[in-house]
Amino acid sequence: MDDSDPPKPRHRAIPSSRAARLGTFGRLAGGVAGGMLGEGARRLARGERPRMRDLLLTPGNVGRLADRLSHLRGAAMKLGQMISMDAGDMLPAELTAILAQLRSQAYRMPPQQLRSVLDAEWGPDWRRRFARFNATPIAAASIGQVHRAALSDGREVAIKVQYPGIRESIDSDVDNVATLLRVSGVLPRELDLAPLLGEAKRQLHEEADYEREAAQMTRFADWLDGHPDYIVPRPLHELTTARVLAMDFIDGQPIEALGEAPQETRDAAMRDLIALVLRELFEFGAMQTDPNFANYRFQPDTGRLVLLDFGATRDVDPATAEGYRTLLAAGLAGDRDAVREAAQAAGFLGEAAIARHRPLVDRMIDIVVTEMNRPGPFDFGDRGFIEVLREQGMEMAADRSTWHIPPVETLFVQRKISGTALLAARLAARVDVRELVRPYLAGGSA
């Protein structure tokens, strides 16, 4: 291991035992409670009557949440990332910025903890396999961190190392985060989270199995082999275990760096990403459902997108794909009634929401259908209509009795679609989405 690089300032041992992680959750709850009391006292002194939600979602409390979840990593941090990514434009800008810490300012394992993990997975003489192994990670995520290395034959590789104790803590972490949400009053007690929590645990256990991820990576590498627009690393099976994933190192720039690129470059990159989402949904029957921006890189010299991290890959239920096909066809046909029926059939809308807020639902559908059918490329940088949808969505969400959780399969697919749209908005891309979608609506698969 090459320890010549100076340690990053956010090195911090990841709590690996159940007791240590529970203690961190306890300190988090105590800190949040203290912050709520302090903020409540300040507002009462000003003559205000604050709501529980306002006291909880202060910058101080969200900062505490981001820092503690960054330290815990694993399922706890993953759920925080999902909130920050999936809510997209629906969160206040200040809250979005603070939660973004979970994607950009994560703690790394100290070198001694890293050595301990690699010794356990590869044996104490593992250094002999490498000409170089950089102890400073080039990336850190919720479940593992990535190191650049060179094999003894000079081949450049990337090594993803799972944080200790992560797999064993998934179930308790998910339950603890759910408890925090419940006691905070953010979620209605009537909302049945059990199916979603059970599926979240299953998904996270799959993401923590690096041998499974290597198999999913191979599937996508085979599907896209030789494609001029995409490149997928190949795993090194002889170095891959359930907790360590070795793969080809493929260089590229962060996808957000495209924000400074010419308009046509941004448009082409997002066109390729949206086309890939459609292929996953309607052709492959499998989708990488984690839209974290760090999972994409861009090669300026080739124009190709580098696709990374296949832990969240899952097969798409044909019924889910058909539901999206029906919904898209209705939208492009401008049939508002058909859109509402398709949205309800797919589980996006619950019966109670339609019954109690039909005019509001119809106004929102009208906005979406109108935007879908504007001539020319869709301008993701034009977010004016999002403000209107946010206001109307918040108005409907105020009626907590109508809150509704879509089917789990739909949630994971929609997470990828929403995250892709969020990236397109970040890059202010212009893409003729209708032309990409139409081949999948005429007679099934393109």
How many angstroms separate the CA atoms of 382 and 380, rounded?
5
Type and span of the H or E element at 26: helix 18-45
Nearest to 399 by CA among 368, 362, 369, 361: 361
Buried b (16+ CB within 10 A) or exposed e, 380-409: beeeeebeebbebeeebeeeeebeeebbbb
Q: Which distant-in-sequence residues (6+ apart) come within 8 Å of 346 by Cβ?
A: 320, 323, 324, 326, 327, 406, 407, 410
Tokens of 410: 């739909």
Alpha helices in 209-290 (DSSP H): 210-223, 263-279
| Residue 256 · residue 426 · CB < 8 Å | yes
Do β-strands 244-248 and 156-162 pair in parallel, antiparallel, or remain unpaired?
antiparallel
Q: Determine which one of 267, 272, 290, 309 is catalytic.
A: 290
CA–CA dist 102, 98 (Å, integer): 8
Identify whether 290 is a catalytic site residue.
yes
Give the distance, in angstroms, between the CA of residue 205 and the centroid of all CA atoms in the same chain: 16
Q: Which sequence positions are flagged as catalytic? A: 290
